[in-house]
Structure 1
Amino acid sequence: MAYLSLIDAAMHLGMRVETVEYLTKNCPKPGESRKLKFVKSNEGPIFNEGELSSYAEYLTKPWPLPKEGTRPNIPKIFKDDVKEESYHGCAVCGHMDNGEVAHIEAVATTLNNAPSNLIYLCPNHHTKYDLGFKVNSNVTAEEIKAAKLLKRNARFRLLKYESLATKSLLSLIKFVKSVEEKIGTAKSKNLKTIHLAELNGLLAEVPGLVKAAQAQAKKDAPGTEPDKALVKVAPKLAAIAAEAPAKQTEKASRAKAKRLVSEVEEVLIEIDEVDCPHCGGRGLTGLVGDFCRYCKGSCVVIETKRDAYDADEIDEVLCPHCNGRGTTGLVSDLCAYCRGSCVVSHAKAQAYEPDEIDEVPCPRCTGRGTTGLAGDFCAYCKGSCTVSQAKAKLMTRTMSMRLTVHTAREKALRG
């Protein structure tokens, strides 16, 4: 397993650096003590990639309930992380007043307070998402998940910028171009609004990033032609991004983005990078954010590498336990075999033995995950459909004892 720097660990987990540092010193789950493990080095803390994936999985597992109430409390550090991820504005519309941290998968059934299951929404879109079944007023789960993915992709590139400066600024502007184009091709009004909100958030970040690039240029003289060209147009980029339009409309935001891109269009052409064909430019794969095995988390590859891409040459296949979904059951528990990665190596796929996984169909709901005509979540497996073998044996014994008592009562009444 590779060891990652603090910034790379933040990218891997999809969190800000401050949150990762917090997790090395504190366990976010009340009453529990597990902290994120790291190794000290001369360059600062470094993290084992396997430990990061394991900790991400730990955070998604059910959180302990408080003494009073039916929902676990969200730590302030996670709330702040999600707010910053969304530029302190609604992930759907960008509205910045009275925002609320919302759960992507219902906390009532998952008890999942991991940042990967949290998103920042205005009260209006929070309500629309919670009441998504209402016609003409809904925000679908797919749209919310698309917004979360967009936020995480943007954060990945912003974190990456801290160590790569000018090249990453150009990469970010290419991402601005991509987001702007997707506004025009969005398949729904909500997706268009989501991309517009992200575009406005990215534009607000550009002046600070340009300033940092200029500072680095003074310290380290730029060597490549793209570096030199960027330094030359940097003041104009900052000026364009800092302009405050009379009214922030879709037309104004897209026009500003196009002006930014046009200033560096020739430089962008010279940059030999395209979205990774394996992860689609995300840099991450699966539900838990594993680094892409082709671009190694870079989001982009050179054109020759893209042209040479052959999915069959990558050592990964769909998980045989969850069929590539990454989750099992009605409440989307992380798959017990791939742990949310959706894929496994060829060797692990061949070694797959269902009987070796400690899960069997819930004996109370017979694996359906629900009971009754109204489809209530099973009170024993909580919608997971499966339970551990020990838990299944306990329920079987309990049911057997209840049946024995019931039979005895019937005999007594007949007698």
Structure 2
Amino acid sequence: MSAKNAEAKAHQEHSSPVNKYKAAALVKMSPQLLEWLTKYAAKSGHSRKLECVKGPDGELLFDAEALKSFSAYLAEPWPAEQGKRPNVPSGIEQEIQEEASFGCVICSRPKGEFAHIDPVHNSKNNHPHNLIYLCPNHHDEFDRQKLISKSDVERTKRQVLDARTAIWRAHAGLLDEILALIKQLQAVNVATQKEHFPALDAVKDELLKHIKAHALAPGLKKTAPEFAKKLEVALGDNAAPVEKVIDERAKFLEETGLVDCPLCDGSGSHNNWECPACRGEGTVAENLVGEIDLEPYRQEECPLCNGSGNHNNWECPVCRGIGTVDAYSVNEIDLSGYKQAECPLCEGSGSHNNWECAFCRGTGSVDEGKLEHFDPSDYEQAKCLLCKGRGTHNNWECPICRGVGKVDAVALTDIDLSPYQQTKCPVCKGSGSHNEWECRFCRGVGTVDVAALEHFEPSEWEDEDSDS
């Protein structure tokens, strides 16, 4: 089967209505969210809903092109009142919480917030692929790029989405989809060995649960009874079910003459898209491997990011952060929309309010095509809520406005003042003086932020008292 034939077959399949599970796998949104989007308009003030039809048995059916079009619509800027963020609708909130198992994807704490991977100042969209659930602490660290980097969050989000997609494919009841499910388990298993995020452990458990459900399902027992039986035994091995299941998949492929797709290596994904050679299934018949023409998919350096995967400090929109593109597509890529223009917010300095400019991410320039989405009202200045415009807090530079005394008005609703509530200084007991000097812990104010108490070590001050 040639790559062109595979693409034609994929197009033929996608031109027919697909059920909710295949639809979910196609756009990487849950069947529950897709159903919600058929009933409610996601964007405030808009009437557009996701189109669908009902099959003879009442099952919702979707058109593949309509799904892709609607996903693109969700990725466009969302309407919002001046100076405010676009509201995240309840259906998408539920989606983001469920994919994170209702806890922060970094630490699994139950109370979280909806964080934008591509900051809302830039993206202005609440597409579920642009949102992730983080606890307040990790949300703050991510926004400030302290301990949690954008690449960490993107990688975790991608792993979770890929795993959920494999689950939805498996729900379609096809043998190749449970093989893809196990292949994804293998990928997540490798990922958890490299970096230990609770969200990945939760996804691995979820994958095992769905693999077990499908191994016991009548459909698989009818299609591949021996494989289903072996999977059931492997899943019952409490010592190492993951390794046993992965091993049974490898044996089954060998016995049935299937191999991992030579283009996507069994993942079903190529350059962050559905693999065109295997149609996202991850496997092909071994005797057809020689007919798959991989030349069109030979990788060449991305002409926009020159192989870095990064464009203006963001994931490159042409290669989706990979750094390479298929050879056949190089001449079709239109770079005109990516010509650089001076950032209208920082006027080329790369800095805004003593921070990296949020609109250009510190580069000082932006794509010309992005200028149409720049709304000056998003960056209107307002007095800092913490320092009341003084620029100082407890005799230090204000940590909210970094000494400027003002902040973007749109950011006011995101400012959490609870860590800055005042409490009596534990060193000077509120006097502002310690050992006849200005108290070093509170800088003579007599009070400190409640958050500062986390860093207070009494033993350090006992030594100082004894020295005096």
TM-score bucket of the superposed structures, by smaller chain: 0.5 to 0.7
> Residue 206 of structure 1: CA displacement?
3.0
Partners in 2 of 1:149 and 1:39 — Cα distance? 30
- Counterpart code for 2:159: L
Q: For the structure 1 residues 132 and 272, does the alpha-carbon distance in structure 2 shift closer, same or farther, using more than 3 Å as the test?
A: farther
2:40 to 17, 26, 47: 26
CA contact (8 A) 2:208 2:242 kept: no
Alpha-carbon displacement from aligned partner over 1:193-234 (angstroms, at most 9, x marks no partner): 13x6424433345345434542425xx8625xxx22244345
Structure 2 counterpart SS, 1:301:
strand
Measure the CA separation in 1 of the matches of 2:253 and 2:128.
Answer: 33
**Aligned equivalents of 2:69, 2:365: Cα separation in 1:** 20
Contact 2:103–2:111 (CA<8 Å) still a contact in 1?
A: no
1:9-408 matches, cutoff 5 A? 9-38=23-52, 42=56, 44-66=59-81, 70-93=84-107, 95=108, 97-133=110-146, 138-164=147-173, 168-184=177-193, 186=194, 192-194=195-197, 197-207=199-209, 209-217=211-219, 222-223=222-223, 227-233=224-230, 235-237=232-234, 239-240=236-237, 255-261=240-246, 266-267=251-252, 269-270=254-255, 272-285=257-270, 290-305=273-288, 309-314=292-297, 346=328, 350=331, 361=341, 364=344, 370=350, 376-377=357-358, 385-387=366-368
CA RMSD of aligned residues (A): 4.5
- For residue 108 of structure 1, report the CA deviation from its aligned partner: 3.0
- 2:225 is matched by which residue type in structure 1? K
Structure 1 residue ranges without an equivalent (≥5)? 187-191, 244-251, 396-415
Point out the structure with the larger strand share: 2
Taking a change above 3 Å as real, the CA distance of residues 49 and 384 of structure 1, as seen in their structure-2 partners, is farther
Amino acid of the residue matched to residue 243 of structure 2?
K
| Alpha-carbon distance in 2 for matches of 1:50, 1:59 | 14
CA distance in 1: counterparts of 2:68 and 2:233, whole angstroms? 41
When the two structures are superposed, what TM-score results if normalisation uses the length of structure 1? Answer: 0.67
CA distance in 1, matches of 2:216, 2:186: 22
| 8 Å CA contact retained: 1:360, 1:389 | no
Distance in 1 of aligned mates of 2:281 and 2:124: 32
Per-residue displacement from partner, 1:357-387 (whole Å, max 9, x unpaired)?
69884695799595779663569xx988244
Q: Aligned partners of 2:228 and 2:315: how far apart in 1? A: 48
Tell me which amino acid in the other structure corresponds to 1:214: L
Tell me the CA shift for residue 172 of structure 1. Answer: 2.7
In the superposition, relative to structure 1, how do residues 145 and 271 fare at CA in structure 2: closer, same or farther (>3 Å)? farther
Query: What SS does the aligned partner of 1:193 have?
Result: coil
How far did residue 151 of structure 1 move?
0.9
Amino acid at match of 2:79: P
CA distance in 1, matches of 2:343, 2:144: 32
Could you tell me how far 1:159 is from its partner in structure 2?
A: 0.5
SS at match of 2:172: helix
Following superposition, the deviation at residue 19 of structure 1 comes to 1.0
SS of equivalent to 1:119? strand
Change (3 A) 1:275 1:145: farther
Q: What one-letter code is carried by the residue in structure 1 that aligns with 2:69?
A: S
Q: 1:125 deviation in Å?
A: 3.4
Partners of 1:313 and 1:358 in 2: CA distance: 25
**Structure 2 CA distance, aligned partners of 1:299 and 1:201?**
19
- Asked which structure has the greater CA Rg, the reply is 2
SS in 2 for 1:164: coil
Partners of 2:296 and 2:141 lie apart in 1 by 44
Q: d(CA) in 2 for partners of 1:390 and 1:145?
A: 25
What's the % identity of the aligned pairs? 26
Question: Matched residue pairs, number?
Answer: 355
TM-score, length basis structure 2: 0.60
Contact 1:330–1:383 (CA under 8 A) maintained in structure 2: no
Q: How far apart in 2 are the matches of 1:207 and 1:36?
A: 30
What are structure 2's unaligned runs of at least 5 residues? Answer: 1-10, 377-468
